[in-house]
């Protein structure tokens, strides 16, 4: 009987885990507010770029890419996708999220507990330690905001690179995990949810997800989906109010407009 109970317990754990995964890969359609998208422009994107971080600076993208032996930090022309300047990371580092604050570019790495700083010419100016895995990175203009693949966002003092506070991200009292690439837009943190077509819009003050963007179908708009990985990469230009998204190893980058989703 004890053996049977053990088998039943394992089955229940598997079922619960599967249910949790399914929940965060598709949001119930009756929930509002919920947005879908309209493609405004489609641009070329380096299909060899495993996009981990994306930000607009001075009319171009700063893009951080990942994979061991292929990680980089680069400037990219928005409309042509041309790589204007690129610095490769050492092969033992897996590049992750990027952000720019006070003319310093910050780049995380995945499991190496290390981040790098660069000047505007992409010359490395320093390194810093991170206690957890590095996933996404953004800034509210005062401090850095980092994700680590869990349901936690960490707020980092850029002078000391110490974590000064954290907030747990929730939706309807459930933790929202696998927070990936981040972008701070008009007081909210936009977060890719890894292995989904969803972007969570998060109130950083209390960690509550206030809305969702459903990008289901955008991968079908790629010129070539061969080798394309998951959706990852959000960038917003406050000067033009343009919103951009892309993915890992995607052949295109999209300027999109948010559209309220009809039930």
User: Considering the domain boundaries, does residue 137 fall inside one?
Assistant: yes
Structure tokens at 39: 């493609």
Element at 212 (helix H, strand E): strand 209-214
Number of H helices, E strands in the chain: 1, 22
User: Considering the domain boundaries, does residue 247 fall inside one?
Assistant: yes
User: Considering the domain boundaries, does residue 1 fall inside one?
Assistant: no
Position 29 scores a pLDDT of 52
Residue with tokens 């179908």: 217
In 94-205, which residue ranges form alpha helices assigned H by DSSP? Answer: none
User: Considering the domain boundaries, does residue 51 fall inside one?
Assistant: yes
CB 54 within 8 A of CB 61: yes
Position 225 scores a pLDDT of 86
User: Considering the domain boundaries, does residue 240 fall inside one?
Assistant: yes
Element at 89 (helix H, strand E): none
Domain count, the chain: 1
Position 249 scores a pLDDT of 97
Give 43's strand partners.
253
pTM more than 0.85: yes
Structure tokens at 152: 């936690």
Supply the CATH number for residue 126's domain.
Answer: 2.120.10.30
User: Considering the domain boundaries, does residue 148 fall inside one?
Assistant: yes
Host domain of residue 77 = 32-260
User: Considering the domain boundaries, does residue 155 fall inside one?
Assistant: yes
Per-residue pLDDT of the chain (263 residues; tens, 9 = 90+): 434 444 333 333 333 333 333 345 555 555 556 999 999 999 999 999 999 999 999 999 999 999 999 999 999 999 999 999 999 999 999 999 999 999 999 999 999 999 999 999 999 999 999 999 999 999 999 999 999 999 999 999 999 999 999 999 999 999 999 999 999 999 999 999 999 999 999 999 999 999 999 999 999 999 998 889 999 999 999 999 999 999 999 999 999 999 998 76
User: Considering the domain boundaries, does residue 12 fall inside one?
Assistant: no
């Amino acid at each position: 009987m004890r053996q049977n109970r053990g088998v039943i317990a394992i089955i229940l754990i598997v079922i619960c885990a599967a249910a949790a995964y399914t929940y965060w890969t598709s949001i119930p359609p009756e929930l509002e507010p919920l947005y879908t998208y309209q493609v405004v422009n489609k641009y070329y994107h380096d299909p060899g770029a495993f996009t981990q971080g994306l930000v607009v600076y001075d009319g171009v993208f700063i893009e951080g890419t990942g994979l061991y032996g292929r990680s980089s930090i680069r400037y990219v022309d928005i409309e042509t996708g041309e790589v204007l300047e690129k610095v490769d990371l050492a092969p033992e580092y897996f590049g992750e999220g990027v952000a720019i604050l006070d003319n310093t570019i910050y780049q995380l790495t995945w499991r190496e507990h290390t981040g790098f700083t660069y000047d505007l010419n992409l010359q490395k100016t320093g390194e810093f330690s991170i206690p957890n895995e590095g996933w996404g990175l953004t800034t509210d203009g005062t401090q850095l905001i980092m994700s680590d693949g869990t349901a936690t966002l960490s707020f980092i003092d850029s002078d000391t690179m110490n974590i000064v506070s954290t907030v747990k991200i929730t939706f309807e009292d459930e933790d929202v995990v696998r927070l990936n690439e981040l972008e701070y837009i008009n007081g909210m943190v936009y977060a890719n949810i890894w292995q989904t077509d969803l972007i969570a819009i998060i109130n950083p003050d209390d960690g509550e997800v206030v809305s969702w963007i459903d990008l289901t179908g955008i991968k079908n708009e790629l010129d070539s989906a061969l080798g394309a990985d998951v959706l990852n990469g959000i960038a917003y230009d406050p000067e033009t109010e343009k919103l951009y998204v892309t993915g890992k190893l995607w052949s295109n980058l999209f300027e999109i407009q948010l559209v309220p989703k009809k039930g």
